[in-house]
Amino acid sequence: MNSIQIADKGFEIFLENDNICKRIRLIGIQLNLDYENRCPYFLGVLNGSFIFMADLLKEVTVSCEVGFIKISSYEGTESSGKIQQAFGLPDNLNERDVIVVEDIVDTGFTLGYIISEIKKQAPSSIKVCSLLLKPKALKSPIDELEYVGFEIENDFVVGYGLDYDGLGRNLKDIYKAKSV
């Protein structure tokens, strides 16, 4: 499918699953090298990261633990900038290597909030692994952003865990909104 319709929006193919999987394999190799003889805590940001995190963890061979946090700042196709926490952080991150797994980083508001909350527990390290990054949308630099699958323009994307008003997460490819 080169183009799809979700609710009232048209989308066109942007990143095919094969390319996504190849990039994830490379990130997994890098994580295995960087965290050799360590036991990182992978913290997935729900709902969007669940597919990326599942595929990423299949490539990780080092011993690790996994958890999730649910935070939202989206309304429709725009980040609202208001953080709404649904589930909290685990409380055992002291002296741990924490890897926050995100589907997409755009403004960085949500990620900045998560990092500041993790820092309160004095972890050994915090790194961020995001499938997508919108550099032009980033409001302030995020030093912890270490692993990025793809840098993209400031387009609205859906699929592979990313949604449009709750729809489209189940698509295996990533689509971008068609220009009108």
Q: Is 132 exposed, middle or buried (0-12, 13-18, 19+ CB in 10 A)?
A: buried
Beta-bridged to residue 164, according to DSSP, are 167
State CA 118 to chain mean position distance. Answer: 16
Tokens of 87: 């589930």
Backbone angles phi, psi at 28, to 5 degrees: -60, -45
34 is catalytic: no
Using alpha carbons only, what angle is made at residue 75 by residues 71 and 77, rounded to the nearest 5 degrees? 115
| 180 three-state secondary structure | coil
Beta-strand (E) ranges in 76-137?
78-87, 97-105, 125-133
Choose, from 55, 97, 103, 106, the residue flagged as catalytic: 106
Q: In this structure, are residues 52 and 131 in contact, taking their beta carbons and an 8 Å threshold?
A: yes
The residues carrying an active-site annotation are 106
